[in-house]
Amino acid sequence: MKTLFPTLLLVMLTQVSCAQVENTPPLKTTTSKNYTLELVVPDVEIPWGMVFLPNGSLLYTEKEGKLIHFQYGKKNEISGLPTTYVRGQGGLMGLALHPDFEQNNRIYFAMATPNEDASGGNTGIYAATLLGNALKVVKMLYKAEPNTKKGQHFGSRIVFDKDGYLFFSVGDRGNRNENPQDITRDNGKIYRLNDDGSIPKDNPFVGVEGAKEAIYSFGHRNPQGLTLHPETGAVWEHEHGPRGGDEINIIEAGKNYGWPKITYGKNYSGTSITKNRSLPGMEQPFYYWVPSIAASGMAFITSNKYPEWKGNLLVGSLKKIYLERLIIRNDKVVAREKIADEIGRVRDVIMGPCGYIHIAVEYEGIYRIKPKN
């Protein structure tokens, strides 16, 4: 346990009923006096995505290629997964429930998927029916091309919007010069599908010669956060920048978010990628970080359990090993706060049963954040 939080408790999950820029706010740190951290699921290596089922039990993915159902304090590995291409940053990743899960038991997941001739892999999006602790009727809905043995920038998060469309992200796969700005190529994109994998007729590039018609927006680097704004229903995304320039974007149909033509980041060596911070026809981020925090996982606080935090945005940090709370007023981030500082690499954050925040921390486990008052 972290010495910073002596009150951490190990609890078992049961069924429940209930840019360094001029205007960048300073980053403050809360203390454990305000909340406790309860370790709900111990001994997890690299958790990637997680969802709660309607009965209060938890599904989560492990990057190595395991889907785990955690119920009554016991871990059950789900059978029936396709073969996972575990390479570099790739593996079994994002996870979502169908909006009508209680009627159809459908789940959706993203995984790095190998090519049959072992020539590499790319991000695939799958649907399956969850029956007990097994996946049935597993179907690949989309796979990005081409296959490559590069180990970076697979994406991938999944979210359903309020109209039942399936959004997912795929990173640029380490090929920034060709993929993100070209709508005839996969990678570096946000995609939109119907729940059965078909392409909505009003997708922005339907009918455009040569275009990948599943693309919804382009010019992205490595998006590892997708969530819905609880009031507007807009899809919010965040993505890793290089050395600086992690971004939050509000996704709109057909828009170009600029990578790598515009960026607030530099190469990891410190050299320039581009002198351009803006160009005509390219969207500015809603917010960006310099230096990077390596943003992963994203959720709005929708619960009355945290009256002072309700409506704020949560973002996990892999690099800085904390959870960041962003306070937004009048379409601007006005304050930032560290929660669970030094807890470890926060890979995902979601709102859970009874309205509690849950965070997945690499080589630690899954924690519940409970306010003390």
Q: Is 102 exposed, middle or buried (0-12, 13-18, 19+ CB in 10 A)?
A: exposed
**Active site annotation includes 153:** yes
Question: Over the range 126-145, which residues count as b (16 or more CB within 10 Å of their CB) and which as e?
Answer: bbbbbeeeebeeeeebbbbe
User: Among residues 369, 373, 302, 362, which one has the least CA distance to residue 338?
Assistant: 369
Angle at CA 341, nearest 5°, toward 220 and 294?
15
Unique residue bearing structure tokens 């399936």: 166
Q: Rounded to a whole number, what is the largest CA-CA distance in the chain?
A: 60
> So what's the pLDDT on residue 151?
95
- CA distance linking residue 117 with residue 372, whole number of Å: 55
> So what's the pLDDT on residue 44?
97
Unique residue bearing structure tokens 């379409």: 331
> So what's the pLDDT on residue 14?
35
> So what's the pLDDT on residue 372?
87
- CA distance linking residue 177 with residue 259, whole number of Å: 9
Q: Which DSSP category does 148 fall into?
A: B
> So what's the pLDDT on residue 5?
36
Is 0.85 topped by the overall pTM? Answer: yes
* From 153, 220, 238, 358, active-site residue: 153
User: What DSSP string runs through 49-87?
Assistant: EEEE-TTS-EEEEETTTEEEEEETTEEEEPB-PPPP--B
Preceding peptide of 114 cis, ω within 30°: no
Does an H or E element contain 104, and which? helix 101-104
Residues of the chain predicted below pLDDT 50: 1-23
Other Cβ atoms closer than 10 A to 54: 9
Three-state secondary structure call for residue 37: strand
CB 122 within 8 A of CB 186: yes
- Note the residue count of the chain: 373
> So what's the pLDDT on residue 32?
65
